[in-house]
Amino acid sequence: MSGIFALASLTTSTAIALLGLAFHPLAHSRAATPTQFAAPPLQLSQSFRPPSRGTAPPSAGGATRGESCLKGSQQLTSLVPQNRLGLTYSSNPTFYWYVPQSPATTAKFLLLNSDDSDVVYETNLALPKQSGIVSFTLPSSAPPLAVGKQYHWYLVVGCNQMDQSANPSVEGWVERVQPEGTMTRQLEKATPTERVQIYADNGIWHEAVTTLAGLRQTNPTDRSAIAGWQALLTSVNLERLASEPLLRATLSQN
């Protein structure tokens, strides 16, 4: 491996030692009067249902121990369910994080196999100057996720190039699953708003958050999308991030 954050040897014990981690049902809105023509808020019939895939190994919290260059009261945080495992239908899913402001200009993204014995993909990412929620889509050049396999990922912010253990990081897990035939047909007929509900009802985290983020970015003032975003994050105890800016610029590879 190469790059300013390259890790010479990653095993389960060394990876965990170096890198620690860190829809509430939406209330029905008031019935519209005849003079109100605004679209009703996005209605989520239930909370996001986490997948029945067990729990990820415990971690040390939102960021690794040691000095950090991150500023502000909010920690570096991954937008994932509480068990830190996100299901996806995609071979190249999109990941989301809240990244505080800092002088760091790059981060390292690492995707490993389930026991941390092999690095599947790694890249350096250019960080935005402002704090907010950013995203990174696994590129087509990366090995596609295999159906039924879990992958362990890390995002390491490059605060300290000399001491990797001092760099703040977050970790999580992703698993690609195959949609059933009825699910595929439902999604083909559904609107983007309806797709959010379908994904949430079936525990498909990455598509739920990506579809909803797309709705918000298309129309940042849309009350339905804003309410849905609040509901989604609240359901996984991330309501503190609901008001953070959703940056249009995604993390770019160096």
Q: What's the whole-model pTM score?
A: 0.78
Residue 81 has pLDDT above 70, yes or no: yes
Q: What is the pLDDT of residue 219?
A: 87
Dump the DSSP string for 173-187.
Answer: EEEE-PPPHHHHHHH
Return the SS3 of 240: helix
Contacts of residue 142, defined as CB under 8 A and 6 or more positions apart, other chains included, come to: 92, 111, 120, 121
What tens digit of pLDDT does each residue of 193-245 get?
Answer: 899 999 998 999 999 999 999 999 998 888 888 999 999 999 999 999 999 99
What tens digit of pLDDT does each residue of 29-57 get?
Answer: 334 443 343 444 445 443 576 656 555 55
pLDDT (average), residues 58-85: 75
Lateral strand order in the sheet of 119-126: 85-88, 169-176, 150-157, 106-112, 119-126, 252-253
The mean pLDDT of the chain is 79
What tens digit of pLDDT does each residue of 155-198 get?
Answer: 999 998 788 778 999 999 999 999 988 989 999 999 998 999 99
Q: What is the pLDDT of residue 92?
A: 97
Burial of 170 (0-12, 13-18, 19+ CB in 10 A): buried
Q: What is the pLDDT of residue 49?
A: 67
Output the six-digit token pair for 146: 């295999």
**Percent helix / strand / coil, the chain, rounded to 5:** 25, 20, 55
Cα distance between residue 229 and residue 195, in whole Å: 14
Q: What is the pLDDT of residue 248?
A: 74
Domains and CATH numbers, the chain: 12-22+43-242 (2.60.40.10)
Q: What is the pLDDT of residue 162?
A: 81
Q: What is the pLDDT of residue 22?
A: 33
> Which of these, 99, 138, 120, lies nearest to 246 by C-alpha position?
99
What count of Cα atoms within 13 Å lies in the side-chain half-sphere of residue 246?
Answer: 21
What tens digit of pLDDT does each residue of 97-122 get?
Answer: 999 999 999 999 999 999 999 999 99
